[in-house]
Amino acid sequence: MKLAAFVSGLALVACALDLENGLMKAPPMGWLAWERFRCNTDCKTDPDNCISEKLFVDMIDRLADDGWKELGYVYVNIDDCWMAKKRDTSGKLIPDPERFPSGIKALADYAHSRGLKLGIYGDMGNYTCCGYPGTTLDRVEQDALTFAEWGVDMLKLDGCYSSEDEQAQGYPKMAMALNATGRPIAYSCSWPAYQGGLPPKVNYTLLANICNLWRNYGDIQDSWRSVLDIVDWFSANQDVLQPVAGPGHWNDPDMLIIGNFGLSDEQSRSQMALWTVLAAPLFMSTDLRTLSRSSREILQNRLMIKINQDPLGLQGRRVLRVQKSKSHIEVFLRPLSHSASALVFLSRRTDMPYRYTTSLSKLNFSASAVYEAQDVYSGGIISGLKAGENFTVIVNPSGVVMWYLYPTITLM
C-alpha cells in the first residue's frame, strides 16, 4: 500500500479521537521534567535532581500544596529516561526498578489522590532519544494498554530512531490504540517536529483529528535566544499554524523555562506573555522546590492564565514585526471571547526602555467602540481608549507590556 493512500485512510478511521477523548478543550497546564532535569539518572550523587520517583513525588506535592493546582496546573509529566533499559519477559515497558521502586501505577495513584494527573513519555521508534526502549509498530497496542493499566493521563510520543514511513503509520495507530483502551489519555505528538513542521510534509488536518497537541519545532533551551527563535518561527509561519489550533488540538512551542538560569525577570515575563498569546500549553520545566518569588508571581498570574485558557481557543498572531518597525517593538494580538483581546508589545531592543506610541486603529481595532485596558502584570486600568487616539506604552529591553483589552461603550 502506498504511503499517501495509507495516511488518507487513517484520516477517516481516526477522525474522531479529539471528540472521543474530550480532553484539552483549553491549553493544558502543568509541569514537565525535561528542560530542567534532562536525563540525569545519577541518583547516588544527585538524589534530589535525578529522574526518579522522588523527583515526581516532590513536584506532585508542590503543585498540590503551593497553589498551582487551583490555577489549572494539573499535569505532572515524566519525560525520557524513566524506563529500564530492557522490556520485561512479556515484552512490557517497565520503569527503572532502582529509581522508580514503587512503579508508575503507584505514582499515578498518588498524583490522582492529590487531585493531579500523570503524564508519561514514549517514542515512536526503536529507541527513545536517550536510548531507552522505543515503541515499534508491533508494540503500539501493548504500550497503550500498559499506560492505561497504570492510570496514566497523558502520553507524549517522541519520534527518535524511526523512519518517515514508520511515523506516518505509528502516530495515527497510537491514537487509535489509546482510544481503544477506554481510558481518557491525552495525546501529545512530536510527529510534525520531525517533518519540518510545515505542509506539505505535515498534514495538520490529520493531526488535529488524532492528537490533542503537537510539537512543531525544535526543543527549547534555557536561553532568551531560544525563546526568540521559537517565537520567530511561529510568527513567520503563522498563516499555516494559527488556523489549525483550537479546543482539543493545540500547537506546542515547548516548555516554559521561567525560574531556571537563562532568563531575566523581564524575559520571563515576556515568555509567559508570548506563550499565552499563542494559546500555548503551559508546561513549566523548573524546580518548583526552589522557585523564586518573582518567577512564582509570573507563573501564577491569574489574569494571564484566564487569557491563556480563554474558551474561544484562538491562537494569536504577530501583527507588527520588527523589520517594519524602527522602534524595534513588535505587537502580538489574540482575539478572546466576549469581544476582548490580548495585546502584547514586545521590545527587541537591548539598550533602554522605549516609549512606544501607536493607536488601536493602527492595530485594526474598530472605531465603533470605546475600550478599556488592564495591564496584565501591573493591574493598572486605562479607561476611555478611542481607536483613533494615540497612546504610549513604555517597554523595557527584552520585555513586554501586555494588555487585556475590551470594549466598554459602543458608538453609534
Residues designated catalytic: 158, 219
Q: For residue 100, which amino acid is it?
A: F
- Strands (DSSP E) contained in 108-180 are 117-123, 154-158
Q: What would the grid cell of residue 28 be?
A: 493544558
Distance CA 306, CA 143 (A): 36
- Three-state SS at 58: helix
Q: Give me the residue label for grid cell 501586555.
A: 402
CB contact burial 384-394 (16+ within 10 A = b; e otherwise)? ebbbeeeeebe
- Establish whether the linkage from the previous residue to 253 is cis, with ω within 30° of 0: no
C-alpha distance across the termini of the chain, in Å: 62
Distance CA 273, CA 356 (A): 18
CB contact burial 55-88 (16+ within 10 A = b; e otherwise)? bbbbbbbbbbeeebbebbbbbbbbbbbbbbeebe
Burial (CB count <10 Å: 0-12, 13-18, 19+), residue 153: buried
Sheet with 186-189, edge to edge strand ranges: 250-252, 213-215, 186-189, 154-158, 117-123, 75-77, 29-32, 282-284
Q: Are 356 and 392 a contacting pair, CB within 8 Å?
A: yes
Q: What does the angle CA 400 – CA 227 – CA 134 come to, to the nearest 5 degrees?
A: 145
Q: How far is CA 7 from CA 14, 169, 191, 361, in A?
A: 10, 7, 13, 45
In this structure, how many other beta carbons lie within 10 angstroms of the beta carbon of residue 26?
A: 17
